[in-house]
Amino acid sequence: MSRIGKIPVKIPQGVKVAFVDETMVVEGPKGKLTQKYHPVVTFEQSAGEILVGRVNEEKQTRAFHGLYRNLLNNMVIGVSTGFTRGLQITGVGFRAEVKGKILVMNLGYSTEFMVGIPDDLTVAADPSGKVTITGIDKQRVGEFASQVRKLRLPEPYKGKGIRYDDETIRRKVGKSGVK
């Protein structure tokens, strides 16, 4: 058995899960998410939890077993509590602010970066350089955070750039003057 696939998915109060035409539909207080799934995976609903099973023991089927269990779990968490990803902007004069549905950032270049915020995500920027991205779809939150981070990757000498909150930058020693 797949170690991840055999763990039951807990369904909190207020979340509805349906499986229609090889599509998972999860609806909760924060919104609604859908995901297609492969027919080699089966779902068994019981009181407050869902067990994910599989039709056969082929290698690809075993991989789908754990994958769709985790996708379902992420959808349930997303519609009930949501996902958050934090970015830290470090550097002299580096700043970010939200203007409507546009994230405007000054990252040390001659022009400002303007990034359109997707409709299903919420972005908040602090004057201290912290940008918080929230949404119900874990993949969309992570992808948008990655795109913003790519605008100015953190450099190892002074630590300037955009990094994740939980990321540590290995600092390097710069040149030393030789006499």
Residue extents of the structural domains in the chain: 9-80, 83-164
pLDDT for 102: 96
Residue 66 has phi, psi (to 5 degrees) of -70, -35
User: What is the Cα–Cα distance from 27 to 20, expressed in whole angstroms?
Assistant: 13
The two domains 9-80 and 83-164 share their CATH topology (first three levels equal): yes
pLDDT band at 33 (very low <50, low <70, confident <90, very high): very high
As to burial, measured by CB atoms within 10 angstroms (0-12 exposed, 13-18 middle, 19+ buried), residue 36 is exposed
Write down the CATH superfamily of domain 9-80: Ribosomal protein L6 (3.90.930.12)
Summarised one tens digit per residue, pLDDT across range 94-113 is 999 999 999 999 999 999 99
User: What is the Cα–Cα distance from 90 to 158, expressed in whole angstroms?
Assistant: 9
Rounded to two decimals, what is the model's pTM? 0.89
C-beta neighbour count of 147 within 10 angstroms: 10
pLDDT beyond 70 at 179: no
pLDDT beyond 90 at 25: yes
Q: Which strands form 9-10's sheet, in the order they lie side by side?
A: 9-10, 49-54, 41-46
pLDDT for 7: 92
| Mean pLDDT computed over every residue of the chain | 92
> Average pLDDT of 40-60?
92
Summarised one tens digit per residue, pLDDT across range 152-175 is 999 999 989 999 999 999 999 888
In 37-172, DSSP assigns E strands to: 41-46, 49-54, 83-90, 95-99, 102-106, 113-116, 121-125, 130-135, 161-164
pLDDT band at 177 (very low <50, low <70, confident <90, very high): low
pLDDT beyond 80 at 1: no
pLDDT band at 178 (very low <50, low <70, confident <90, very high): low
Write down the CATH superfamily of domain 83-164: Ribosomal protein L6 (3.90.930.12)
pLDDT for 4: 86
User: What is the Cα–Cα distance from 79 to 24, expressed in whole angstroms?
Assistant: 13
Q: Are 89 and 95 in contact (CB under 8 A)?
A: yes
The structure tokens 């997707």 sit at 118
Distances (CA, A) of 116 to 68, 121, 137: 30, 11, 17
pLDDT band at 137 (very low <50, low <70, confident <90, very high): very high
One-letter amino acid at 23 equals T
